[in-house]
Amino acid sequence: MNNTSRTLSARCCIVGGGPAGMMLAVQLARAGIKVVLLEKHGDFLRDFRGDTVHPSTLEILAELGLKQRFDSLPQRRVETIEGIFADGIYAVGDFRGLKPYPYLALVPQWDLLNLLAQEAQAYSNFTLLMRCEATGLIRTDGGAQVVGVTANAVEGPLQIYADLVIGCDGRGSCLREAAGLQSQNLGAPMDVLWFRLPRLGSDPEGTYAVPGKGNFFALLNRNDYWQCARVIPKGAADRWYQQPIAAFQAQIAQRIAFLADRVGALATWDDVKLLEVRVDRLLRWHRPGLLLIGDAAHAMSPIGGVGINLAIQDAVAAANILGPALTAPGVPDEAILAAVQKRRLLPTKIIQGIQVFLQRRIIAPALASSDDGRPIAFPRAAKFILRFRLIRSIPARVFGVGFFREHVMSGEPRGRTGKLSIRDIARH
């Protein structure tokens, strides 16, 4: 350990300022708990990382009194998900029957994170350290008890001592590795190429799935642009990258006719980002003094766009369970950390189970069939069944609301000092 390290101490140290970490920070800060959050990047304005804010998250934001501020963020409200097939456009998912929020909000993730960071920063007991990367765990008792993290900050090495460390550092979690926690890989037959194309006033209005033989596209309507996904077989990205970008442009133009006039916006492969899909789950989410939640505990498939929302549900459950233990004196017992895993395990397992089922039964066979460049026709049986709104609302309910929904249980916020600007946060 470096003797020149600076040292900080807190009741709780959160590693990672993604949806899980920021949502947890807001709630622990409101409860008056001394919290330090480390985020390795300098801001939240990074690559596309998913925009889907489902009704379950909208409800949490409302419970925290943040819904009005959230509503003022640039966004698109999606009430139905449609499929573009050879024989027309059909609704395949319908949020309109859901209460109290009958829509999915497409909001840049950085705007959501900035909002949560601003809210947490309004509490003097909360410290946000940007450009501060956790590098390992500090332990005592022969390694059994986690008592903090080591980190690299802009000013140099840092040690943060805390009664509880919560790893929210995403699917590549370094704390997961440092703690030696074992995960179960549930497998994924696909990866996703993400890219943006301009959206014109004459384009269709919806948000679409575009299934085809040997290929699958999704188009998220972001008002002035389309956030597009091309699902590819696992590991196939390199085969694409070896071809000129023109081959990719040509396929998009062939499959989605109204985009043909602007595929040139993808100038090089740098405009196309690869998401290596991984679905896994830790067998144990905790060690004495350490808990992992969000993607760090369970990486999700992009099916249903639920990763952000599950991470937020984890954070709410963790705050509800850990808040009282962290406001009382003493180090939280590992049994309390186990209670968080116990509460969130079943909803996570159910959603991952559905994702894996859909990956195996629909995505993998579709990607394995030979690509004739043509769209597929909407199967007759699906056409009949999905005429009923009740049936169309099932996928919206499963992914948009989820199972065993969490609600904010913390009392009145303590010690709010006022709002800070994004500039304040960046300067920190």
Ligand X SMILES: Cc1cc2nc3c(=O)[nH]c(=O)nc-3n(C[C@H](O)[C@H](O)[C@H](O)COP(=O)(O)OP(=O)(O)OC[C@H]3O[C@@H](n4cnc5c(N)ncnc54)[C@H](O)[C@@H]3O)c2cc1C
Binding site for ligand X (CB under 6 A): 15-21, 38-41, 48-52, 133-134, 168-170, 174, 194, 275, 294-296, 300, 302, 305-309, 311
CA 192 to chain centre: 15
User: Least distance to ligand X from the beta carbon of 55, Å?
Assistant: 13
Cβ nearer to ligand X, comparing 39 with 94: 39
Q: Which is nearer to ligand X, 32 or 164 (CB)?
A: 164
Q: At what angle do helices 307-327 and 19-30 cross, to 10 degrees?
A: 30
CB nearer to ligand X: give 48 or 403.
48
Residue 305 and residue 95 in contact, taking contact as beta carbons nearer than 8 Å: no
Nearest CB to ligand X, comparing residues 106 and 245: 106
Report the residue number, 52 or 393, with the smaller CB distance to ligand X.
52
CB of 329 to ligand X, least distance (A): 28
**Residue 39: CB minimum distance to ligand X, A:** 5
Cβ 124 vs Cβ 418: under 8 Å: no
Nearer to ligand X, 307 or 402 (CB): 307
- What is the distance of C-alpha 36 from the center of its chain? 21
Nearest to 304 by CA among 98, 40, 54, 13: 54
Give the residue with the Cβ less far from ligand X, 112 or 378.
112
Shortest distance (Å) from residue 229 CB to ligand X:
8
- Closest approach of Cβ 10 to ligand X, in Å? 15
- The DSSP call for residue 77 is E
Q: Across-strand partners of 290? A: 165, 287
Start-to-end CA distance of the chain, whole Å, equals 25
3-state secondary structure 153-214: ECCEEEEEEEEEEEECCCCCCHHHHHCCCCEEECCCCEEEEEEEEECCCCCCCCEEEEEECC
The nearest distance, CB 17 to ligand X, in angstroms, is: 5
What's the min distance (Å) between Cβ of 249 and ligand X?
20
CB of 49 to ligand X, least distance (A): 4
DSSP sequence for 78-121: E-EEEEEETTEEEEEEE-TT-SS--SEEE--HHHHHHHHHHHHH
* Closest to 392 measured CA to CA, from 54, 93, 104, 55: 93
The string over 161-189, giving b where at least 16 C-beta atoms fall within 10 Å of a residue's C-beta and e elsewhere, is ebbbbbbbbbbebbbbebbebebeebebb
In whole angstroms, the minimum distance from the beta carbon of 339 to ligand X comes to 19
At its nearest, how many Å lie between ligand X and the CB of residue 152?
9
In three-state secondary structure terms, 337 is helix
- Please state whether the peptide bond connecting residue 100 to the residue before it is cis, i.e. omega within 30 degrees of 0: yes
Nearer to ligand X, 108 or 189 (CB): 108
One-letter amino acid at 149 equals: V
Rounded Cα–Cα distance for residues 130 and 121 (Å): 12
Closest to ligand X by CB, 170 or 323: 170
| Residue 100 buriedness (CB in 10 A; 0-12 / 13-18 / 19+) | exposed
Please say which residue, 35 or 134, places its beta carbon nearer to ligand X: 134
